């Protein structure tokens, strides 16, 4: 069994290193965070950074870690993904640790393997986005709480509050809301809500609050009303309650339950099995109640949000993996353990092969390579107001330069990016396409103020 664990670890580390190296960043979400990291390094905006003039929409912990790595290894696509990869390994370790404490070495190994056999886990582990780091910090907070609750370990209680503060500095108030809701649900189920007083007493709580409030005050003093609008109103209040860009629709309301059913399959079948056992009178242990309170809190909070994504379920994955491991442990013959471990390696390889195939055909990557030399010497690169922001974010990163929004006009020496739909209007202004590419958003073109250029398709 030890050789199996060692083989699995080596395979995962090797594949994860490969996943970090390629492919390059070609999606809006990764480009958005990469641009913020670039701003931290180039402008020194360590309190709150910008992405080409737009205020960062998330707190800075992910960007701090990535910028720290980039200051040593250089600012490259793989380096920007380092916080996610490290967080994924930490989540696997935390899940294995909890499994050992809850049911022994076999449960710990199974839980980590089940978690690693989920493709959505690896997708987040190899992306330059805050979700994996955030999910790992929530996991760390709940794991530390459990150790404190079961063993009265004061160090674990301190680590719980450190993890909560770090989670808030990664994605905002949800970093405190998720572990707090899970803990309250569990203690209420245990009829021991009085434990909250011991958990929330002493200097660790004060220090965590001071760090978080200190950053929010510093960010407000740096960015003022813009900070309140972007990170408080837009990213938290409107995302939760609706309003602004976050309209509530039935389709969006159904998105999370559908993701929960699909993203955690087949391991979430253990929840059906748990209900069946409870219905037939099987007793529930404190461990069962804690793990169920954990995933229920995650799903409940995000289910009521006006805007949600399947990746928001990532903090619930360890709880489901631990429940599945406990259920499988009595039947975990060597062939089953080997199958799950092999599945984890195969899933990571499949995720990366899929990303490589997608990146090779990514039109914005190819388009950026084709126009790099043409726009490199231009003092200003402009974009039409109608150009999709997704495309603009990716091109800002891939071209390593700022892009200014503005109306179409013919200015010599000033290349302009525009959607293909605007070509007819552009030609009437004296602009002509010199590069054109198909994109999911309807096509993109690079325009120059000249009537004798040849279009390259």
127, 154, 137: which is closest to 61 by C-alpha?
137
Residue 5 pLDDT level (bands cut at 50, 70, 90): low
- Average per-residue pLDDT for the chain: 87
Residue 122 has pLDDT above 50, yes or no: yes
- Whose tokens are 């499994």? That residue is 99
Residue 6: Cβ within 10 Å count? 10
Q: Compute the C-alpha angle 177/196/175, nearest 5°.
A: 15
Comparing 1-15, 136-150, 168-182, the range with the smallest average pLDDT is 1-15
Each residue of 131-146: pLDDT tens digit?
999 999 999 999 999 9
Give the model's pLDDT for residue 457.
42
Give the model's pLDDT for residue 397.
92
Measure the CA–CA gap between 434 and 447, rounded to whole angstroms.
Answer: 6
Measure the CA–CA gap between 138 and 314, rounded to whole angstroms.
Answer: 10
Domain ranges of the chain: 2-358, 363-448
Give the model's pLDDT for residue 272.
93
Each residue of 380-419: pLDDT tens digit?
899 998 898 889 999 999 999 899 988 888 888 889 999 9
Residue 456 has pLDDT above 50, yes or no: no
Contact 132, 314 (CB under 8 A): yes
Average pLDDT over residues 354-383: 83
Residue 244 pLDDT level (bands cut at 50, 70, 90): low
Residue 6 has pLDDT above 60, yes or no: no
Contact 167, 175 (CB under 8 A): yes
Q: Taking the alpha carbons of 406, 409, 413, 416 in that order, is the dihedral positive or negative?
A: positive
Residue 304 pLDDT level (bands cut at 50, 70, 90): confident
Give the model's pLDDT for residue 229.
86
Average pLDDT over residues 116-144: 95
Q: Percent of the chain having pLDDT more than 90?
A: 49
Comparing 27-36, 183-192, 325-334, the range with the smallest average pLDDT is 325-334
Average pLDDT over residues 54-61: 91
Give the model's pLDDT for residue 189.
95
Residue 29 has pLDDT above 70, yes or no: yes
Give the model's pLDDT for residue 373.
86
Give the model's pLDDT for residue 455.
43
Residue 157 has pLDDT above 80, yes or no: yes
Residue with the larger pLDDT of the pair 5 and 76: 76
Residue with the larger pLDDT of the pair 417 and 339: 417
Residue 224 has pLDDT above 60, yes or no: yes
Residue 454 has pLDDT above 60, yes or no: no
Residue 21 has pLDDT above 80, yes or no: no
Comparing 77-86, 185-194, 241-250, 325-334, the range with the smallest average pLDDT is 241-250
């Amino acid at each position: 069994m030890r050789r199996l664990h060692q083989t699995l670890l080596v395979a995962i580390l090797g594949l994860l290193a490969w996943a970090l190296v390629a492919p390059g960043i070609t999606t809006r979400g990764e480009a958005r965070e990469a641009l913020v990291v670039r701003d931290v390094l180039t402008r020194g905006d360590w309190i709150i950074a910008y992405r080409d003039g737009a205020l960062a929409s998330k707190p800075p912990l992910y960007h701090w870690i990535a910028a720290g790595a980039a200051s040593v290894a250089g600012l490259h696509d793989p380096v920007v993904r380092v916080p996610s990869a490290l967080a994924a390994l930490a989540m696997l370790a935390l899940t294995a640790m909890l499994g050992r404490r809850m049911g022994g070495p076999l449960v710990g190994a199974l839980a980590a393997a089940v978690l690693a056999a989920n493709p959505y886990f690896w997708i987040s582990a190899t992306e330059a986005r805050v979700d994996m780091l955030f999910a790992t910090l929530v996991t760390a907070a709940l794991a530390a709480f459990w150790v404190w609750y079961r063993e009265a370990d004061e160090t674990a209680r301190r680590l719980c509050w450190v993890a909560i503060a770090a989670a808030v500095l990664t994605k905002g108030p949800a970093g405190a809301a998720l572990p707090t809701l899970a803990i309250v649900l569990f203690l209420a189920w245990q009829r021991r809500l009085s434990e909250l007083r011991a958990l929330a007493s002493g200097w660790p709580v004060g220090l965590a609050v001071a760090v978080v409030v200190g950053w929010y005050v510093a960010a407000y003093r740096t960015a003022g009303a813009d900070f309140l609008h972007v990170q408080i109103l837009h990213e938290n209040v409107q995302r939760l309650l609706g309003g602004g860009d976050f309209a509530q629709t039935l389709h969006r309301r159904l998105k999370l339950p559908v993701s929960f059913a699909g993203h955690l399959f087949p391991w979430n079948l253990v929840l059906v099995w748990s209900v069946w056992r409870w219905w037939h009178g099987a007793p529930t242990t404190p461990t069962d109640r804690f793990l169920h309170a954990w995933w229920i809190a995650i799903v409940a909070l995000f289910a009521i949000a006006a805007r949600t994504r399947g990746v928001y379920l990532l903090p619930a994955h360890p709880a489901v993996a631990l429940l599945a491991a406990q259920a499988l442990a009595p039947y975990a013959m060597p062939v089953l353990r080997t199958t799950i471990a092999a599945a984890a390696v195969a899933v990571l390889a499949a995720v990366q092969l899929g990303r490589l195939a997608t990146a090779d055909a990514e039109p914005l990557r190819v388009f950026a390579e084709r126009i790099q030399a043409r726009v490199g010497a231009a003092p200003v690169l402009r974009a039409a107001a109608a150009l999709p922001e997704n495309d603009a974010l990716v091109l800002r990163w891939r071209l390593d330069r700022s892009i200014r929004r503005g109306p179409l006009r013919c200015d010599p020496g000033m290349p302009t990016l525009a959607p293909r739909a605007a070509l007819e209007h552009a030609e009437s202004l004296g602009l002509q396409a010199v590069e054109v590419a198909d994109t999911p958003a309807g096509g993109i073109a690079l325009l120059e103020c000249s009537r004798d250029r040849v279009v390259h398709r």
